[in-house]
Amino acid sequence: MSAALPVPVIQLFQVLTIALGAPGISGFIAKVEARLQGRRGPRVLQPYYDLAKLFRKEALAPEGASWVFLAAPLAAFTCYLTVPLLIPVLTTYGLPLGYMGDILGGGFILSLASFLVAVAASDTASPYAQLGASRAKTFSAITEPVVLFVVFTVGLITGTDLPYALAATVRSSAGQIIRPAHALAAAALFMVILAETGRIPVETHTGTNEFGMIEEARPFEHSGPYFAWLRWGSAAKQLILYTILINVFVAPWGLAASTQAGAVLLAIVALLGKACALGVVVAVIDNSFAKLRLFKITEFVSAAFLLAVLGVFTLYLGGG
């Protein structure tokens, strides 16, 4: 299997890997968490069955909801699937459509998706959905500076803000891995990812604790296929964020350096494997800490901010 794949096909594979692998990663994390708690847990492929079931169900819309309510899930999902075109998912080299946006562009698209979901939630006039939407937007605003500083770190290290460039830099020498700026930026980004994907210590991913729900409250009113798109979309967002963390910061190895089919296949397997490893870490954190009270989330974010700022400082002073 050493056929060279055409580059657009590889790009398509990027999107498909994210889209099809995302529910599996969610299922894997749920399984690991259950095992750590001493339960047997659901099967790893359960999210796929859930999605299939949801697509067959009837959809209801609240009275007074507009077209936004119906259009948002699919629109958000489309946004989520656009981002894999921009980040190094499978390859070390830039793919054609990868020119469409840099790391900031990817961030914008993710925010657009989040915005659409929030608007749809507000459209329902349901208290829980609106609660979740407003909370989610507030915390997104607070985590913006952290993300910005992480991007600054990337920019200062590589001189560009292309994620591919940073991945190549990290691969280039051992010194790049152990430098403080890189470690700090990766740690800060990890804390932001915990907040964005709704994991402990920010939010409980499972269960419906109304007073603590942030992300989980937004799809409250959607049902049927719309709910399926939303669930799939949030799983895809999770995998995309994991991919950014893994393939750009923490472990950018195993990516295909050529267009050989074998290399690409290896890259897919490597990505899913690394995402599962990160999922294990998230599950351990999930079981080790308690959820923070809502007003303490600002402290959590300030800690992430501290890490990101220190990363930039160490770069400025040299030796970072």
Query: Binder to other proteins among 36, 180, 223, 272 (CB under 8 A)?
Result: 180
Site membership for other proteins, residue 68 (CB under 8 A): no
Task: Give 154 or 228: the residue with its C-beta nearer to other proteins.
Answer: 154
The answer to whether residue 141 forms part of the interface with other proteins (CB under 8 A) is no
Q: Which amino acid is at 180?
A: P
Among 49, 99, 253, 289, binds other proteins (CB under 8 A): 99
- Cβ closest to other proteins, residue 49 vs residue 99: 99
Closest residue by Cα to residue 17 from 83, 70, 74, 115: 83
DSSP string of 272-290, one letter each residue: HHHHHHHHHHHHHHHHHSP
* Sole binder of other proteins in the list 41, 51, 74, 93 (CB under 8 A): 93
Exposed/middle/buried for residue 250 (C-beta within 10 Å: 0-12, 13-18, 19+): buried
φ, ψ for residue 260 (rounded to 5)?
A: -65, 140
* One-letter amino acid for residue 309 of the chain: V
CB of 276 to other proteins, least distance (A): 27
Near other proteins by CB under 8 A: residue from 41, 42, 94, 224? 94
Does 191 bind other proteins (CB under 8 A)? Our answer is no
Distance of alpha carbon 198 from alpha carbon 178, whole angstroms: 29
Distance of CA 260 to the CA centre of its chain: 28
Residue span binding other proteins (CB under 8 A) among the ranges 65-73, 237-245, 283-291, 294-302: 294-302
Q: For residue 77, give every residue at least 6 positions away whose Cβ sits within 8 Å of its Cβ, in sequence order, or none.
A: 113, 229, 230, 232, 233, 236
Residues near other proteins, by CB under 8 A: 7, 91, 93-97, 99-100, 156-159, 164-165, 168-169, 172-176, 178-180, 183-184, 298-299, 302-303, 305-307, 309-310, 313-320
